[in-house]
Structure formats: structure tokens, C-alpha cells
Amino acid sequence: MNKLSEGIIKLKWLIIIVVIGLTAFFSYQLKDIKINSDIISSLPDDDPVALLYKNIGEEFGGNDLGMVLLETDDIFKKEVIEHVKQITDTLKFTKGIFTVTSLTDVIDIKGSEWGIEIGKLVDEYDMPDTQRELDSLKYRVFSKEMYKGSIVSEDGTSTLIMFTMLNGVDKQQLAIEIKEKITRLNLPEKIYFGGLPMMMNDVSDLIISDIVRLIPIVFLLIAFILFISFRTTRGVILPLLTAAISVIWTLGLMTLLGYEITMISNIIPIILLAVGSAYTIHVLNRINQCLEKDRKKALQIALAYIITPVILAAVTTVVGFVSFVFGAYLTMIQDFGIFTAVGVFFALFLSIFFVPALISAFSMYKSANRLKRNGKKKKSFLSNNILRPLKNILFKHPKYALTAWSLLLLLTISGVFMIQRSVNMADYFKKNNPTRVTEDIMQEKFGGSLPVYVVFNGDIQSPEVLKTIKETQEYMETIPGIDKTQSIADLIEEMSDVMGEGKKIPDEKAKIVNLWFLLDGQDIMEQLVTKNLNKAIIQSKFASADSKLMTDFENAMETFVTENSTEECKIEVTGMPAVYVRLDSSLIDSQISSLIIAIIMVLIIVGLLLRSVAKGIYATIPIIATIIILFGFMGLTGIPLDIATVLVASIALGIGIDYSIHIITHFNHALNENGDVNEALEETIMVSGKAIIINVASVAAGFLVLLFSELVPLQNFGLLVALSMIGSGLGALTLLPVILILANRKRKFIKS
Amino acid sequence: MKTFKLSVLACAFVMLTGTINYVKSQDVNEILQKVDKVLYSAKDQQNKVTIILIDKSGSESKREADVIQKGNDMRLFRFTSPASQAGIAFLSLPKDVMYIYMPAFGKERRIASHVKNQKFAGTDFSYDDMEAKLLSSKYDPELIDQDNETYTLKLVPKPGLKTDYSKQVMKINKQDFYPVTAEYFDKGGNKVKEATYQYEKVGNYWSAKEILMKDIKRNHATKMIVSDVIFDQGLSDDEFTVRKLKQ
């Protein structure tokens, strides 16, 4: 280590130049940084259900269904219908829009004594304007399953204008354009925007607003905490500088490798600011403590001592993040884990190479005298009011701490079994967010907005396949959560009806082909059948985001598919409920697997470091107790496990273990020096305790800023990480010393 | 005398230049009328048509039909292949009356007229595009460009015309007045379709040999290849009846 620290000081200018060069290079990459709010793109390609869902988007334009919802007291009024047409036309004449379906632009198959009409429900050249025409339109809408509750709500107060986007367009740009154009129409009715493309646009706005608002706050907050801790400019600038550089490198690298910012990875900067600055704090702290007169030598000595613990602290944190790579369902979580780990590594690299190089190059040493003075002043507050009383209680009543922790565990453990899970995208928005409001209305008036698809592979024009489609629809509609379904079979039945043969699938293929001929080229066909007629889908919506209902639906459909899927007509089911069910079960799986991986890795690392399995276990006790209490807290307060909060436990483990490591290393060191457990512990608590409190304060404060995030999971994430930092810090200062006292007493007892 | 001569000269000059301008504006209507003449001067016509649908991946599917038509508003379109669609037939009659015959049902049905903006039989042509009405009766022309070989006309629908297009931009062969290309614009001003024509002389008439219609939005195209054209064989109105449709 001495050699390394010598080397660092020798090569300071090279290090500084390389860091500046790399920072310039990665900053330049940032110009191409993109935000990806599309949760669908994060579905894993190795899951057939997810892959099928993605493919439906490409083959049927299904996933990109956007919606404009118009709400008023009565839809069937002349002006309202005209406004619907205005919106419809606005959408239709916007570049990048593929199809538009609305009250004024939807297929209508009518039969009459004189013939058939495959046209539009409303003739755009002869809009209904008399009360009679409006009444007859209303009657028609409410008499047909295809319109009632899917285009016009059953209470007649809202209507949907649905659109799909062309493949390959910039969906977010288009979503913005649509919002602007329709808002500019300045219609008197209430207008809401919904569906995934619009939701994505909203998420992306929120991501940007989070980044823009929160990062400066975190920055200032950490700067403030650093200032009151170090009371020097250097103590504020260096940690923030290294953290900021590591953020630039990480985001630059992500961009360079073609990754985009997601609703999870947008917290990378905040994490790196909070966690990354800690390594520099340790390095600086050590340099400050070294009272050697020759400051250059002091730097070298301090560096040689600090490199190992800092590397260890970083490695355990990296383990916490890397643990998500295994078991996470969404690729965006895996990417987040990898890049945060890389970022932590960058922060580590900078704190042990760049910081000493800077200090030595620009002679930013503090004089030993000033150090002493400062040190004394600082000691007084934390030491007298917190650490000394704490130490006294611990020594007098070691069992108190133990009892307190046991009580806390007992109180919260019941909560662990009450933890809820949330995978519904709509829950990610605050209650008053427009997207959330639209979702609620969709749920209430249009049977939800979670798309469900059943795919049929076979000769779609054969009577057998069409009949199977129809049977599947009838079966689906008996399952709670499914209100109505739509497929090509419905259209063929209607056509058969207007040809005077009754509402059924004809028994002869020839008839079906004849009927098909008239439907060919209708907009709706492209959403229901592939061009080469070997695939068709049932479109439906699921009304609830309730995990149990979705799981029941999944199971019911699975049974149906196994019983009815044949060589001639292969059936597959996908859709958001299927994705959510997988996401839901993956939450638990990935929580368990990432936690186990993290615990084992940390045990191994800490065990190796302390050269003792027992000490390794002692070190993890405070953090594991904290995690149990954390889960209990989540259960009791109703904070659900979701794509963000699922990350907390492993991150808390990775960061929180550092406090225990500091306590145990210091304790060992002190014990070796003077041999007395109590004295060693006293020194440990008084010196390392201070560093831990400062560190807890800065990391927790950094994460608490996420409470101001626009996304609910991130708010919860911030709160939970902050709490677990406080918990593990407190654990390291109370529980761990008691364990050490008791363990050493026992050893003494055995020895004697 | 001299002054008189001069004034005559001046007068003639004014008249001449005035005439040039006058001819120009009349020219546009005349050009369109000449196009109509090229397109619709035959009394009747019989031909075969091969319809090739080309999707965005470039894969093609083929249909064939026999067509007879008379005047501007009578046409019978009967599919002959593929086998599954053989026998399906459309009959268009004056006043936008349309029938379809479905052989598998043995029944005909009248089709409502306001489906004109719908696609014809899954092609990129709408019923509107297939219509044989005089262009000059539907559009107001404006000459927007010309080169050595073509006139470029902007065709704006006459007030009251029910159409999905806000305008067409048509290039016309200067010598023989048949259309070379046509671009179709929606009401938002976006170009939505593009047609390319190939004409050949059959007997006394210019006849469309091939029309390629591209749907720009869908990246889909339809090629209609016309063959076995016979003009003016004196088809009677009786050929265009529901009874004939069902045969």
C-alpha cells in the first residue's frame, strides 16, 4: 500500500490530466443522452410472454395505443360530436399517426332491407345535427357491444378517441405534438390524455423535472453537511467534485454504450452524490487525522492506511448494486445495478487517485496546527451530547441496547408479512398527476386501460379458427376483470348477419372469404389480423391492477389455452396483466435472490477482511436487524414493494455494512494496542462514531431529497434508504458494541 | 395616318398580350378537359386487370379481374383469381349506386354510397380513386408548373365535393394529355398517396397500361396492370344490371 500511495503522489500530474481528459470526453458524450420512459422496452426478451407482447406492438400497432378522453355532461350533442371530429381530424392529419378510432371515425356494419353498409358510424359529410339523428346515433352506440363502454362510456358522458402510432416515429415527440395541437383547439369539454405513449411522455417529463430539481438540492445539502463537518473549502469541494465527476463518467459511459436514462437510472446521480462523496470524506478525514509535520509524508501515510478500508466499503456497496443483475425481471433494473456499481467504482478510483493527486499537486494541505484546533472544537458537540452519553449507557447497561433492538424487531416483524406489492404503472404517479387521473377515469368508465391480447396462430379464415376465437372471447368475458373483447370473429359474425345468415361464423370458408373481401383494407383489420392471415388477436382490457385478480385471470387463461390450443390453431396469451403478474412474482424472487447474494458476498468480504467468520457475522447483525425492521416498517406503513423499493434492502446492506466494518476494524486496532475491551470500545465509539454520524447524516440527507421526487416509488425509495442508513448507523453504534462487549466477555470467561 | 397605324399596332400588341394571358387561364381548363377526353372518350371498354398488392416488406400478392365499363358511371368488376375470391363482383351504376355480389352466398347486396373514401377491395385505391367521373366536373384546376414534357396542375375539389383529399397535384403529358403522376394530399396538407401512370395507344385511344398507387403513410402499394383492352364494342346497358352481376 505504501508503494501504491507513493506512486499516486509521484504520478499526480498524469492522474490529473487523465481525469480531466476523461471528464471532457464523457461530458461530450452527454450531448447524446436520451431518456427512455418506455417500460415495455425494459421487458426481457427471454420471457416468451414479454416478447410476444413486444411483437404485438410491431405486428398490430397495439402497444402504442394512445387515447384522448373527452368528458362532458352528454356526448350526444351536435357540438360535442363536432368537437370529437375536430380532435379526430387533428390526430388523423398529424404525421406519424397510423390509425385513429373514434365516435366519428369507426367502422360500422349496417344491414338494411336494401343492402349493406360497411362504412363509418358517423358520416363525416353528413354529421348528425337534428335531435332525431342524435337520438338514433345514441341508440346505435348503446345497442352495439363494440361501441358501448369502449368508445362511449355507459353513462354517455365520456368518449374515447384512440390512436396508434407508426413504427419508428419518435413517440415522445409525437405525444408532445398531439397534446399541444389538441390543447390549442381550446374545446369547452374536459380533455384527458391516456395510454402508454402519453403516459411515457409524462414519465419522461417527470424524470427530467426530478433530475433538474433534485440534483442541485442534493448537491447543496451535501455541501452544507460537509461544511459543518470539515469547515474547510477543500472539505466541501473535493468530495463533491469527485462525486460529480463520477456522475459524469457514469452517465457518459451509459450514453456511449447506447443506454438511456430510465425512471430508475435517473436516481444514479443522486446515489453517486450521496455515496460517492463518502469515499473522499474518508480519505480526507484520514489525512486530517494524521498529525505528521511533513504534510507530504502525512498524505502518504494516511493514504496507505485508508486505501484498504475505502476499497472494502466500495466493494460491499458495489456488491449491493450488482446483486440486482441476478433475478431482476426488468432490464432497466439490471442496467441500473450495473451502472451504479460502475459509478461507485469510479468514485472509489477518484477518491484514492485523483484526490491525493490534487492535494499534492496544489499543496492543499492543512497545517497540522489548524487541524488540532479544529479537531478539538468539533469533538465537543457530537462527543459531549451524543457519543459520551451513548457510550455510558452502553457500558452500564449493555442489555438495554439489546432489549431495545429486540423490542423494535418484535414490534415490526409482524409487518414483514403484511408487505404489499405494487406493479401498476399508474400507482407510480402522485394522486393528482394528470396521467393518474386519466387512469382512474379509464378504470371507472372504460373498464381499465391494461391491454390484454390473445394471439391465434393458424389459418384465420378457416371457420374452426374463427369459432375458437369466438369461444375464447365468450370464455374470457366470464372471468372477473374482463368486460368486453374484440376480434375479427365479431366482424365476420356481423357481416354474416347483414348477409341474412344470422350472427354466426359461417361454416364454409368460401363464405368467410367473401365476407372478408369487404372488410379488407379497413383500418381496424390491421389491428386485428396480420396481412398474411396467419395471426389474429383478441383485444381486451383488464379492469383491475389487483395482483390476485390478475393472477387468477392468468391461471384461468393458461388452463383454457392448454385445453384448446391445437396444431391448427395455436393460442398464446399476453398483455399487461401477464407482464404485471411476472413483474409481481419477480419482485419477491429478485428481492430474495439479491438479498441472499448480497448477504453472502458481504459475509465473505467482511469475514476475509476481519479474518474471522464470527466477526463477519457480528458485522452483519446490525444491518440485517435494520433490514428486518425496514421490511416491517414497509408492511406497517403500507409502503409497497415495487420496482424501486425492491432495491432498498440490498443497497442498504451494501452501504450500511460500512459502518460495522469501521467499528470492528477500529475496535480490533485499539484492542491490539491496549488490550482492554472497554477502553478500545470507548475509543472506537468516540472516534469512528463521529465519522459514522457525519456519514449517515450526509447519505441520509441525500436520499431524503428523493421525497420531493415526482414519482411515488422514488419517494418511497429515498425514505427507506435514508431510514435504513440511520438504522444501520445506529445499529453499528449501539447493537454492535454490545455484541462486541458480550462476545469478548464470553471469551474472557472461557479463557479464565 | 401614321398615328392611326401606330395606335392599331399598339392596340394589336395589347390585344395580343391580353390574349396570351387569357389563353393561359383558359388553357388550364382546357388542359383538364383534354385529359378527360383522353381518359373517358371511349363509349365503352372491356379489359382484364391484374392487381398486385405490395406490402412494406416488398412481398406481393396477386388478384385478377375482368372489367367492363360504359360511359362515366357504369362499371362491372368481376374477380377471377385467386380461386377463393373468384366470382366476387362489383357493379357501379349512376348516382353512386353500388352492388356487390358474393358467390359463396349466391346473394348480392347494395353498398352504401358514403363509403367512397374506403379502400376498394383491400387495394390502395379508394372507391373515390376508382371513380370514372370527369376530372373537370370534380376539380378546379390551376397550372402551377410546366416543363418541356409535362404540365403540373393543382386540382382543388369543387365546393361541396365529398372527398378525403384537399388537393391533387397531377403531372400531365404535354403532347398527348394523359396523366403521368398524381399526388394526393389530405386535409392536413400531408401527401398521403402517390400514383404513377403508364399509358399506351390502343387503337384510337390512349389507354392506361399500368397504374402504381403508393400509400405513403402505410408504406404499401398497389399495381394495376391493364391488358386485353377492347374499346367501343357497343356494350348495352343490360350488361350493367343486378341480374348480370349475379351471373
**Interface touch A117/B112, C-beta < 8 Å:** yes
CA distance A603 to B96: 83
Q: Which residue has the higher pLDDT, B232 or A749?
A: B232
Instruction: Tell me which residue of A421, A274, A246, A263 sits closest to A336, measured CA to CA.
Output: A263
Determine the 3-state secondary structure of A68 from DSSP: strand
**Interface touch B104/A511, C-beta < 8 Å:** yes
pLDDT per position as a tens digit, A156-183: 999 999 998 887 788 888 999 999 999 9
Q: Is it the case that residue A203 has pLDDT exceeding 90? A: no
Contact list, A534 vs chain B (CB under 8 Å):
none
Taking each continuous run of H as one helix and of E as one strand, the counts in chain B are: 4, 13
Band the pLDDT of A376: cuts 50, 70, 90: very low
The domain in which residue B102 lies consists of 5-245
The three cell numbers locating residue B154:
393543382
- DSSP lists the bridge partners of residue B51 as B63, B224
Looking at chain B, which residue has its C-alpha nearest residue A92?
B188
Residue B186: CATH number of its domain: 2.50.20.10
Domain with CATH 1.20.1640.10 in chain A: 1-32+232-366, 380-417+612-752
CA distance B24 to B26: 5
Give percent above pLDDT 90 in chain A: 32
Say if CB A526 and CB A60 are below 8 A apart: yes
pLDDT at residue A727, rounded to an integer: 92
pLDDT at residue B7, rounded to an integer: 56
Domain with CATH 3.30.70.1320 in chain A: 62-200
Q: Which residue has the higher pLDDT, A658 or A719?
A: A719
Q: Please enumerate residues of A whose Cβ is less than 8 A from a Cβ of B.
A: 89, 92-95, 98, 110, 114-120, 123, 125-126, 166, 498-501, 506, 508-511, 513-515, 517-518, 520-522, 531-532
A449-580 under CATH 3.30.70, yes or no: yes
Write down the CATH number for the domain with range A1-32+232-366. Answer: 1.20.1640.10
Q: How many domains does chain B have?
A: 1
The three cell numbers locating residue A53:
407482447
CA distance B44 to B58: 35
Asked whether the ipTM of the predicted complex exceeds the cut of 0.95, the reply is no
**Interface touch B115/A89, C-beta < 8 Å:** no
- DSSP lists the bridge partners of residue B240 as none
The partner residue sitting opposite A510, judged by closest CB among B84, B118, B186, is B84
Contact list, B114 vs chain A (CB under 8 Å):
117, 119-120, 123, 125-126
Looking at chain B, which residue has its C-alpha nearest residue A91?
B188
DSSP state letter for B247: -
The three cell numbers locating residue B201:
395507344
Q: Which residue has the higher pLDDT, A285 or B20?
A: A285
CA distance A485 to A352: 62
**Interface touch B121/A517, C-beta < 8 Å:** yes
Looking at chain B, which residue has its C-alpha nearest residue A501?
B105
Residue with cell 375536430: A86
**Interface touch A166/B88, C-beta < 8 Å:** no
Distant-in-sequence contacts of A612-617, Cβ < 8 A, 24+ apart? A614/A743, A615/A664
Contact list, B107 vs chain A (CB under 8 Å):
499-500
pLDDT at residue A563, rounded to an integer: 93
Q: What is the DSSP string of B94-138?
A: TTTEEEEEETTTTEEEEE-GGGTTSBSTTSS-BHHHH----HHHH
Q: Is it the case that residue A105 has pLDDT exceeding 90? A: no
pLDDT per position as a tens digit, B68-99: 999 888 999 999 988 888 999 989 888 888 88
Average of per-residue pLDDT values in chain A: 86
Band the pLDDT of A617: cuts 50, 70, 90: confident
Average pLDDT over every residue of A577-595: 84
Average pLDDT over every residue of B193-221: 90
pLDDT per position as a tens digit, A22-53: 999 999 998 888 888 777 778 888 888 888 88
Looking at chain A, which residue has its C-alpha nearest residue B162?
A125
**Interface touch B119/A521, C-beta < 8 Å:** yes
Q: What are phi and psi of A133, to 5 degrees?
A: -65, -40
Average pLDDT over every residue of A690-699: 84
DSSP state letter for A39: G
A439, A440, A443, A449: CA torsion to nearest 10? 10
**Interface touch A114/B121, C-beta < 8 Å:** no
CA distance B43 to chain A (A): 30
Fold classified for A380-417+612-752: Multidrug efflux transporter AcrB transmembrane fold (1.20.1640)
Q: Which of B105, B213, B222 to mutate to test the interface with A (most CBs of A within 10 A)?
A: B105
Contact list, A509 vs chain B (CB under 8 Å):
84
Distance of CA A10 to the CA centre of its chain: 44
Question: Of chain B residues 1-20, which have a CB less than 8 A from chain A?
Answer: none
A-to-B residue pairs, Cβ atoms closer than 8 angstroms: 90
pLDDT at residue A368, rounded to an integer: 47
The partner residue sitting opposite B111, judged by closest CB among A117, A506, A508, is A117
Indicate the residue type of B159: P
CB atoms within 10 A of CB A228: 13
A62-200 under CATH 3.30.70.1320, yes or no: yes
Question: Of chain B residues 175-194, which have a CB less than 8 A from chain A?
Answer: 186-190
